[in-house]
């Protein structure tokens, strides 16, 4: 039987790889999971009531693009957060932003660019769905280092003109997963200017935008509006998983230019899975409420302070500006993760599992990713054990 080759060279996904690395060995203490970015703060208190009030909606097919009320709630949040007015024709509700990031690639990346195979740029390390979207469209994924030397964000402008001229789209995450770096207004403006100059799309993954340490990260929509960028060049993706501690709701949205959104909607109509109606009603309420977001952010701030105290004086690391991961330097990520598990019971993710080796080394090789999602006391225990095991 013949199978397509486009996905044949994919490495095993990060978490099966981690289980294969750690599970043959006994834990060296109480298990503390700091691997997956699954928020464990309380979800908004009103979610259960809204869901119960709308449970009959499971008996009907939901609107493909989002209810008018949901699109209005999303537009209201964008206006409050970024000061940008976005009409309903520039929005679509998503059944999780991973779906959206993938399907936007399918809907928007052309088969050729100036007569050649298109390139799709992405940071390295990166959220793995970016590469899948590129491969599914037969484009060439180009992994651009996002290291300490580049401020943990990719320097797309440093690529050769030949690569940029055949680039159809770039993926960018801010705050970055896994490093927590935040794209400044100048970074966004430079990227927008580069996109105009070389005629490519920007697919901005801003799922961690509401988890920040000192200041709200600027968003690409506000910078695009300020600079007068073509709306159809910019698409941003947001989620209730991180903002509102609802990873199981699988609810997010994409906002962008009306022409591109129409294409993403058309793909959804033929082959997509809309968000069930009761979950859309919950999402309407959640996007309209800020109190729970402020409360959750305060919990992250307490964990940031704890991490800062525990790792005080450690060379080569820095506190993230956004998101809820620590990107900690080690000699080798796999060796460090295995040692930590066998000696302490703390589970972390080797950084190489989030990266690709492009022939010049794997930029995640010398790091581990540590998720600050557990309650404060558990987080402090895990970080203290990690410090004592790997750095003392």
pLDDT given for residue 7 in this prediction: 81
Residue with tokens 């052309």: 110
pLDDT given for residue 134 in this prediction: 95
Mean pLDDT of 134-153: 96
Rounded to whole angstroms, the Cα distance separating 140 from 113 reads 11
**Average pLDDT value over all residues in the chain:** 96
Count of Cβ atoms closer than 10 Å to residue 4 Cβ: 8
Decide: 241 and 252 in contact? Cβ < 8 Å: yes
The string of DSSP codes covering 339-355 is: HHHHHH-EE-EEGGGG-
Domain ranges for the chain, please list them.
Answer: 14-42+292-390, 61-289
pTM for the full model?
0.96
> Which residue in 301, 149, 123 sits closest to 215, CA to CA?
301
pLDDT given for residue 1 in this prediction: 81
The string of DSSP codes covering 172-240 is: EESS-TTT-----HHHHHHHHHHHHHHT-EEEEE-TTTT-BSSSPPP-HHHHHHHHT--GGGEEEEEEH
pLDDT in tens, 45-84: 999 999 999 999 999 999 999 999 999 999 999 999 999 9
Q: What would the two tokens of residue 153 be?
A: 């964000």
Rounded to whole angstroms, the Cα distance separating 392 from 384 reads 11
CATH architecture of residue range(s) 14-42+292-390: Alpha-Beta Complex (3.90)
High-pLDDT (> 90) share of the chain, % = 93
Decide: 126 and 354 in contact? Cβ < 8 Å: yes
Task: Please give the C-alpha separations between residue 286 and each of 243, 292, 293, in angstroms, as whole numbers.
Answer: 10, 9, 9
Q: Which positions ≥6 away from 224 have C-beta within 8 Å?
A: 188, 192, 231, 233, 234
Q: Produce one character per residue of 225-254: b if its CB has 16 or more CB atoms within 10 Å, e if not.
A: beeebebbbbbbbbbbbbbbbbbebbbbbb
pLDDT in tens, 302-319: 999 999 999 998 888 889
pLDDT given for residue 204 in this prediction: 98
Rounded to whole angstroms, the Cα distance separating 252 from 236 reads 11
pLDDT in tens, 186-218: 999 999 999 999 999 999 999 999 999 999 999
Count of Cβ atoms closer than 10 Å to residue 69 Cβ: 14
Decide: 50 and 56 in contact? Cβ < 8 Å: no
Rounded to whole angstroms, the Cα distance separating 185 from 219 reads 8
pLDDT in tens, 325-382: 999 999 999 999 999 999 999 999 999 999 999 988 999 999 999 999 999 999 999 9
CATH 3.40.640.10 assigned to domain 61-289? The reply is: yes
Rounded to whole angstroms, the Cα distance separating 248 from 363 reads 31
């Amino acid at each position: 039987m013949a199978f397509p080759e486009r996905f044949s060279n994919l490495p095993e996904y990060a978490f099966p790889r981690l289980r294969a690395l750690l599970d043959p060995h006994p834990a060296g203490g109480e298990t503390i999971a700091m691997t997956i970015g699954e928020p464990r703060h309380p979800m908004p208190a009103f979610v259960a009531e809204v869901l119960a009030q709308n449970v009959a909606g499971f008996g009907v097919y939901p609107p493909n693009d989002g209810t008018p009320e949901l699109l209005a709630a999303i537009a209201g949040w964008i206006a409050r957060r970024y000061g940008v007015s976005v009409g309903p024709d520039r929005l679509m509700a998503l059944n999780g932003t991973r779906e959206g990031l993938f399907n936007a690639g399918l809907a928007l990346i052309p088969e050729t660019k100036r007569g050649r195979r298109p390139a799709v740029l992405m940071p390295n390390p990166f959220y793995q769905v970016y590469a899948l979207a590129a491969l599914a469209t037969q484009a060439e994924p180009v992994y651009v280092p996002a290291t300490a030397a580049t401020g943990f964000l990719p320097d797309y402008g440093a690529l050769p003109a030949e690569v940029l001229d055949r680039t159809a789209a770039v993926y960018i995450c801010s705050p970055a997963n896994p490093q927590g770096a935040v794209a400044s207004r100048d970074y966004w403006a430079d990227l927008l200017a580069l996109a105009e100059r070389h005629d490519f799309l920007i697919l901005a993954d801003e799922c961690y935008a509401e988890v920040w340490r000192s200041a709200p990260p600027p968003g690409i929509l506000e910078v695009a509006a300020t600079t007068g960028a073509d709306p159809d060049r910019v698409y941003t993706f947001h989620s209730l998983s991180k903002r509102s501690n609802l990873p199981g709701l699988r609810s997010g949205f994409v906002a962008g230019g009306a022409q591109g959104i129409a294409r993403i909607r058309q793909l959804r109509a033929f082959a997509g899975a809309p968000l069930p109606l009761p979950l859309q009603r919950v999402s309407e309420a959640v996007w309209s409420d800020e109190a729970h977001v402020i409360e959750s952010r305060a919990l992250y701030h307490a964990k940031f302070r704890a991490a800062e105290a525990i790792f005080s004086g450690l060379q080569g690391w820095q506190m993230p500006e956004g998101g809820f991961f620590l990107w900690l330097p080690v000699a080798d990520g796999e060796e460090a993760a295995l040692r930590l598990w066998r000696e302490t019971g703390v589970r972390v993710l080797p950084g190489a599992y989030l990266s690709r080796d492009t022939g010049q080394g794997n930029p995640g090789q010398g790091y581990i990713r540590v998720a600050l999602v557990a309650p404060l006391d558990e987080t402090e225990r895990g970080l203290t054990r990690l410090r004592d095991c790997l750095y003392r």
